[in-house]
Amino acid sequence: MRVLAIGCHPDDLEIACYGTLAKYAKLGHEVFVCHIANGNLGHVEIMQDELRAIRLQEAENAAKIIGAKHYSIDIGDLYVTAENDTLVNRLAAVVRDIQPELIITHNDHDYMNDHMQTYYATLRASFAASLAHYDLTATTPPTPVCPIYHMDPVTGTGFIPTEYVDISDTIELKLEALACHKSQIDWMRDHDHIDFLDLVRTCSKVRGYQSGVAYAEGFRPNHNYLRMTTKRLLP
């Protein structure tokens, strides 16, 4: 199966679903990750262009750890919107290139608008990628509309999962990938006094308590027309 995870910022997928993605990869599935925003505003000292380059490399390094192929749409922070046709065109091209059978992305309610807009852009782009005449310059074929799963927001606030994935065997790989985002981990430790690796481990442990395992990640299926399936797609 081809699995595409679409996150907003370069570390969002690592936080929310990299344990699951690592599990897919271990089971022999093809895993692809794509971030929409380039994270250029995610620091108080490093300036935008330098930070953009740093965070792109951090995301590349993280994807390699779990055996995923990495894509970037490269939109500036706070400029992510589903009404941005350039963004949607670029994302639709990624979808057509990958031909995913499952997409994982943000929830439609989150603390940050960029995250919510990433979901709506994903919904729009994945449907556009199914239309033969949407992009007449495309060299890749249309792809069928596929199911979407929503991943946990940071700390799980306001999100009640309906499905869980046991990541007890991939939690360390998840944290190793997250640790690649040194610019963010150092910034949050020094300026916000947050041990982010510990926070993410703790949230995974909470989801594990809820589902009867050591560590877990929580998801909810998208219930829009054409997005539902009778199959268990999560590992």
- Helix (H, G, I), strand (E, B), or coil: what is residue 78? coil
- Give me the pLDDT at residue 46, please: 82
Neighbours of 68 (CB within 10 A): 24
- Comparing C-alpha atoms, which of 140, 155, 137, 235 is closest to residue 194? 155
In sequence order, what are the residues at sequence separation of 6 or more whose Cβ sits closer than 8 angstroms to the Cβ of residue 184?
A: 11, 39, 42, 43, 55, 58, 196
d(CA 127, CA 39): 26
- Comparing C-alpha atoms, which of 100, 216, 95, 104 is closest to residue 149? 104
* pTM for the full predicted model: 0.96
Q: Which two tokens stand for residue 133?
A: 């005449």
Tens digit of pLDDT at every position of the chain (235 positions):
999 999 999 999 999 999 999 999 999 999 999 999 998 888 878 888 898 999 999 999 999 999 999 999 999 999 999 999 999 999 999 999 999 999 999 999 999 999 999 999 999 999 999 999 998 888 999 999 999 999 999 999 999 999 999 999 999 999 999 999 999 999 888 888 899 999 999 999 999 999 999 999 999 999 999 999 999 999 9
Q: Which two tokens stand for residue 31?
A: 């895993």
